[in-house]
Chains A and B, each alone.
Chain A
Amino acid sequence: MGGVCGGLHGARIPTYDLDVVHSRRPENLSRLTAALAELQAVYRLQHNRQLSPPLSALAAPGHNLLTTICGDFDILGTIGESLSYEDLLPRTEMMDLGEGLLVRVLDLPTLIEVKKQAGRPRDLDHVRNLKEVLRERERLGSS
């Protein structure tokens, strides 16, 4: 989800981080913890303290705003109106990023809805952009 998701759908949205809503099932949390350790993830807003996200935080519905050796990485337990990974799953699609990498992203109408709910000026800016992408896609699909 977020700017990268918008970009994958075809919008030119400047973004500097990757936003992910993760599955909070135990088996995924252990995989996620291992991946975050490899990325040397620590909380971005307390960078000086070098705090790694504990399992309890990743299992909770809150937001974990992290920085890693590969850039900023936001891991969100829920978004919008408390929507979890499982809630959002039916509103996603798979995208092929090459070299066998398939990623699951929010579908465009849902991304627009989530950005509207976030309601910050930059989110609403993105909504205008994303709506035009949707319109263009519909136009191309119908031509």
Chain B
Amino acid sequence: MQSKTKRKPGARWPNVPRPPRGTYRNGIDLTQIRQMLALTPAERLEVLQSASASLAELCASAKKL
């Protein structure tokens, strides 16, 4: 399937920040882990619920296309 949006070869999508260097280990984003570890379990649950809700919304939107 081809994308309808034309991009110059090698161009980056706008508003997608390049991940900071040195925050990945074995392909895992340590920044996210450190952010999560700074939260309480209740706050971590909120992050999970919010992420799941966003993904569900995204899937529902994709199905409508």
Contacts and interface: CB of A to CB of B under 8 A. Distances in A.
B45 A8 contact: yes
Contacts, number: 62
B36 A10 contact: yes
B57 interface: no
A89 interface: no
A8 B28 contact: no
Nearest to B56: A16
- Give chain A's interface secondary structure class: helix
Interface residues of A, number: 23
Interface in B22-55: 25-30, 32-34, 36-37, 39-42, 44-45, 47-48, 51-52, 55
A136 interface: yes
Given A12-B29, A15-B52, A132-B25, A137 B37 contact: yes
A14 interface: yes
Give the interface SS of chain B, mostly helix, strand, loop or mixed: helix
- Contact residues on B (Cβ < 8 Å of other chain), bracket: 20 to 34
A118 B35 CA distance: 28
B52 A12 contact: no
A7 B33 contact: no
A133 B51 contact: no
A15 B48 contact: yes
A129 B26 CA distance: 9
Contacts of B42: 96-98
B25, B32, B34, B41 pick with most chain A CB within 10 angstroms: B41
A140 B37 contact: yes
B41 A136 contact: no
Contacts of B56: 16
Given A128-B28, A132-B28, 17 more contacts: A3-B48, A4-B45, A4-B48, A8-B44, A11-B36, A16-B55, A96-B41, A97-B42, A98-B40, A98-B42, A131-B26, A132-B26, A132-B30, A132-B33, A135-B25, A136-B34, A136-B37
